[in-house]
């Protein structure tokens, strides 16, 4: 780590210009926020010194909310209003919730049994997205207090295995918490960033991430400052909670308890099971003797018994590893390092099984609970524009295949798993009836052949197709997956060039309208803020555009703009800057910002072309110097 920062004269970064960025690990059990401060990256503690924020939200009758350790304490006494493991509900439907069984003792409500269910709490129904937003808001406040200023941008991590609906739900939660998301980063990639930058590793790295509720395995290659995700796999419903549940069931059986137990008793039992699991990491056995509201649980559990109880879950994780290694097209001998992430990797049998499968002792010198947030903070700091050297580029892949429903409930894959993103694919459709003007398209995600075995992402209704004889219309539907792994769709009728209208009905997400309503509701919470906040947001957003354009002119204006173009763009820039500084009307500022974006469009396009040319020129030079170096060897 650099002790002294030496900067060229004239290049010194104005300390007021330094932007505040943070990495957020939004976990099933615990969440964290981390930031780079004075060259050091670490997680940020709350006022009491705790780094981990339990991902628990309690709703009170008066509409107020408690988040974190305090809420967790109340889990036993107020289980229905205290939401734990909300991450498992993100982008999920009622049928998924049913498979989670006892773990989710809440009162779920859905509109016509479809979509992501709301949870009925003391103050009314809340969406899992809103619950997650409370956690994000809490962390953001911590970050703003520590960094002494508003956050310019955050990187939020998600399991690599998260599908589109789950990613979108996470982004929606950030929107509700008023956070500017620079990137959704896969958790394993974040962990590798944390290790990769510190140790300068080159080669294939496996990241084994066993958290409370999700398991991820990712294989990454680090090559010349580029992190390339070779493959990802895992199970979005496998984690340390399963260990706890296995221990809890064993305890009930060993104590001869049968039949129903109350929700409160179940919670207490699960907390006890978790404590036992943690104790067994350094003890050979643990004695249990507890009284849960009259339910007496008395027994002794050894590490051998525990290892046996969790073996099926660990075995499932190793199977997923085997698949990921195969998908990556590498051999076990190519894997240089294994990185451990997630609290559940502290369990000795997990470490042993991982070491034995990969034939290498896994790395764990960064706290497995914090490593993801730390990696996210490093990346957030780069993306917000604070750092130009040591840059790491993260190339991600699509975690699950995207497909369309065809006749007979079968899936036709449009983009296959592990394709490098961003990616786009066009697919052509035609009408099957004369004069047909609309068509329903169902998008699913998953690897199986039947629609019913895959995850429904969205239904798209194409409308406004010009009436023609059957089979004459050619509708091209474009599927675009961005760098965050989120899908967007557009459509066009090719023979007439008519853009068809698309109505998106996300199967498990929130519609734009619902998000707007929720945002408004959160505004009403502090009504006085509304005008101020939208004005501040317009100013911040516009300043971002102004800075970007000004910076681009300073860098490339000489080469890529004519004298006249340059002065005209500078003029617009000055006008917009004046409006952004002086205006008190959000709409006026936004309009000015759009004008500047339009005026700089051609320049942006030239810069991109220039970048591409330079990239390739750079390659040839690099290769030249490499081949010289090779010759000298």
Partner 1 sequence: MDFQQTFFEIFQLPEAYHLDVDQLSSSYLELQKRIHPDNFSSATDTEKRHSLQWATHVNEAFTTLKSPLQRAIYMLEQRGLSIAHNPDLEPAFLMSQIELREELDDISETASEEIDAALSRLDGFKSSVKETLSSLEGSFAVQFDVELAAAEQTTYKMQFMNKLLVAADQLEEQLLDY
Cβ proximity to partner 1: between 107 and 512 the closer is 512
Measured between its terminal Cα atoms, the distance across the chain in Å is 31
Q: Where are the alpha helices (DSSP H) in 486-585?
A: 512-525, 529-560, 563-582
Cβ distance to partner 1 smaller for residue 153 or 446: 153
Residue 380 beta carbon to partner 1: minimum distance, rounded to whole angstroms: 9
| Structure tokens, 375 | 């990696």
Identify which of residues 305 and 483 has a Cβ nearer to partner 1 in the complex: 483
Nearest-angstrom CA–CA distance, 406 and 442: 9
d(CA 99, CA 85): 14
Q: How near is the Cβ of 320 to partner 1 at its closest, in Å?
A: 8
**Residue 295 and residue 290: Cα distance in Å, rounded?**
8
- Give me the least distance between CB of 316 and partner 1, in Å please: 10
The span from the CA of 95 to the CA of 455, in Å, is: 11
Q: How far is the CB of 593 from partner 1 (least distance, A)?
A: 9
Q: Count Cβ atoms below 10 Å from residue 358 Cβ, excluding itself.
A: 18
Nearer to partner 1, 72 or 158 (CB): 158
Q: Would residue 63 be called left, alpha or beta, if left means φ above 0 and alpha means ψ between -120 and 50 degrees? A: left
Alpha carbon 450 to its chain's center:
27
Specify the residue, 566 or 606, whose C-beta has the smaller distance to partner 1: 606
**Dmax of the chain from CA atoms?**
87
Toward partner 1, which CB reaches closer, 78 or 327? 327
Q: Which residues contact partner 1 (rule: CB under 8 A)?
A: 153, 182-183, 223-226, 228, 319, 322-323, 326, 383-385, 391, 393-395, 419-424, 480, 482-483, 544-545, 547-549, 596-598, 600-601, 604-605, 607-609, 611-612, 614-616, 618-620, 622-623
Q: Which residues is 87 bridged to in the sheet?
A: none
Q: How many helices (H) and strands (E) does the chain have?
A: 15, 27
Instruction: Please check whether residue 269 is in contact with residue 292, taking contact to mean a CB–CB distance below 8 angstroms.
Output: yes
Q: Report yes or no: 137 and 177 within 8 Å, Cβ to Cβ.
A: yes
Give SS3 for 426: strand
- Between 332 and 395, whose beta carbon lies closer to partner 1? 395
DSSP assignment of 11-51: -PPPTTTPPPEEEEE--SSEEEEEEEETTEEEEPP-TTS--
Smallest distance from partner 1 to CB 74, Å: 39
| Residue with smaller CB distance to partner 1, 102 or 602 | 602
Contact 244, 213 (CB under 8 A): no
Task: Name the minimum Å distance from CB 510 to partner 1.
Answer: 23
CB of 319 to partner 1, least distance (A): 6
Q: What's the Cα-to-Cα distance from 26 to each of 33, 146, 259, 375, rounded to whole Å?
A: 9, 19, 35, 13
Catalytic residue numbers read: 25, 87, 187, 209
Other C-beta atoms lying within 10 Å of the C-beta of residue 260: 7
Helix orientation angle between 512-525 and 128-147, rounded to the nearest 10 degrees: 50
422 prior amide bond cis, ω within 30: yes
Which CB atom, from 265 or from 379, has the smaller least distance to partner 1? 379
To the nearest whole angstrom, how small is the minimum distance from the Cβ of residue 152 to partner 1?
Answer: 8
Query: What crossing angle do the helices spanning 128-147 and 164-176 adopt, rounded to 10°?
Result: 50
DSSP 182: E
Q: Is the dihedral of CA 623, 203, 381, 486 positive or negative?
A: positive
Angle 329-332-334 (CA atoms, 0-180°, nearest 5)? 75
Least distance (Å) from partner 1 to the CB of residue 201?
17
Q: What residues contact residue 161 under an 8 Å CB cut-off, 6+ apart? A: 214, 215, 216, 232, 233, 234, 235, 236, 399, 400
- 305 vs 548 by CB, closer to partner 1: 548
Cα(20)–Cα(386) distance, integer angstroms: 9
Q: How far is CA 343 from the centre of its chain?
A: 19
Q: How far apart are CA 474 and CA 329, in angstroms?
A: 38
Which helix (H) or strand (E) covers residue 591, if one does? helix 586-599
Q: How far is the CB of 576 from partner 1 (least distance, A)?
A: 12
Dihedral angle at the C-alpha atoms of 236, 237, 240, 244, nearest 10 degrees?
170
């Amino acid at each position: 780590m650099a002790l002294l920062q030496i900067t060229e004269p004239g290049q010194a970064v104005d300390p007021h210009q330094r932007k505040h960025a943070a990495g957020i690990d939004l976990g099933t059990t615990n969440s964290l926020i981390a930031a780079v401060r004075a060259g050091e990256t670490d997680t940020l503690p709350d006022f009491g010194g705790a780094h981990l924020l339990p991902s628990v939200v309690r709703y009170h009758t008066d509409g107020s909310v408690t988040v974190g350790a305090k809420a967790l304490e109340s889990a036993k006494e107020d289980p229905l209003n205290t939401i734990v493991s909300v991450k498992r509900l993100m982008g999920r439907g009622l049928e998924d919730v049913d498979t989670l069984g006892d773990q989710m003792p809440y009162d779920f409500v859905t509109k016509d049994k479809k979509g992501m269910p709301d949870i009925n709490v003391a103050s009314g129904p809340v969406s899992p997205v809103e619950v997650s937003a409370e956690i994000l808001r809490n962390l953001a406040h911590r970050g703003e207090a520590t960094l002494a200023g508003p956050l310019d941008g955050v990187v939020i991590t998600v399991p690599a295995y998260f599908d589109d609906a789950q990613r979108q739900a996470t982004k929606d939660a950030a929107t509700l918490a008023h956070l500017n998301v620079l990137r959704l980063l896969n958790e394993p990639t974040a962990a590798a960033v944390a290790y990769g930058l510190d140790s300068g590793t080159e080669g294939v790295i496996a990241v084994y991430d066993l958290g409370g509720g999700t398991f991820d395995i990712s294989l990454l290659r680090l090559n010349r400052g580029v992190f390339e995700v070779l493959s990802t796999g895992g199970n979005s419903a496998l984690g340390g909670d399963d260990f706890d549940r296995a221990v809890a069931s064993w305890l009930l059986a060993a104590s001869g308890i049968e039949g129903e137990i109350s929700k409160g008793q179940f919670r207490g039992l699960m907390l006890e099971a978790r404590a036992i699991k943690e104790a067994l990491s350094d003890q050979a056995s643990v004695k249990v003797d507890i009284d849960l509201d009259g339910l007496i649980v008395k027994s002794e559990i050894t590490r051998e018994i525990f290892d046996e109880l969790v073996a099926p879950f660990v075995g499932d994780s190793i199977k997923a590893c085997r698949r990921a290694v195969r998908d990556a097209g590498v051999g076990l001998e190519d894997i240089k390092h294994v990185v451990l992430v997630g609290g559940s990797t502290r369990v000795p049998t997990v470490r042993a099984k991982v070491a034995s499968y990969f034939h290498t002792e896994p790395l764990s010198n960064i706290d497995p609970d914090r490593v993801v947030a730390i990696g996210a903070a490093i990346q957030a700091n780069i993306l917000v524009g604070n750092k130009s050297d040591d840059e790491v580029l993260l190339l991600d892949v699509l975690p699950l295949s995207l497909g369309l429903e065809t006749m007979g409930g079968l899936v036709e894959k449009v983009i296959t798993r592990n394709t490098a993103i961003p990616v786009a694919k066009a697919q052509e459709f035609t009408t099957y009836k004369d004069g047909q003007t609309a068509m329903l398209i169902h998008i699913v995600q998953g690897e199986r052949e039947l629609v019913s075995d895959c995850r429904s992402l969205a239904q798209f209704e194409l409308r406004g197709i010009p009436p023609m004889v059957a089979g004459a219309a050619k509708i091209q539907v474009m599927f675009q997956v961005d760098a965050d792994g989120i899908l967007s769709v557009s459509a066009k009728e090719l023979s007439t060039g008519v853009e068809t209208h698309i109505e998106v009905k996300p199967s498990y997400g929130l519609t734009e309208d619902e998000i707007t309503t929720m945002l408004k509701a959160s505004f009403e919470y502090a009504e006085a803020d509304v005008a101020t906040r939208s004005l501040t947001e317009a100013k911040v957003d516009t300043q971002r555009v102004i800075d970007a354009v000004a910076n681009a002119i300073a860098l490339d204006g000489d080469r890529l703009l004519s004298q006249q173009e340059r002065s005209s763009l500078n003029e617009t820039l000055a006008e917009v800057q004046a409006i952004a500084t002086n205006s008190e009307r959000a709409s006026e500022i936004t309009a000015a910002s759009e004008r500047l974006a339009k005026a700089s469009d051609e320049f942006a396009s030239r810069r991109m072309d220039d970048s591409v040319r330079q990239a390739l020129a750079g390659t040839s030079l690099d290769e030249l110097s490499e081949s010289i170096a090779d010759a000298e060897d």
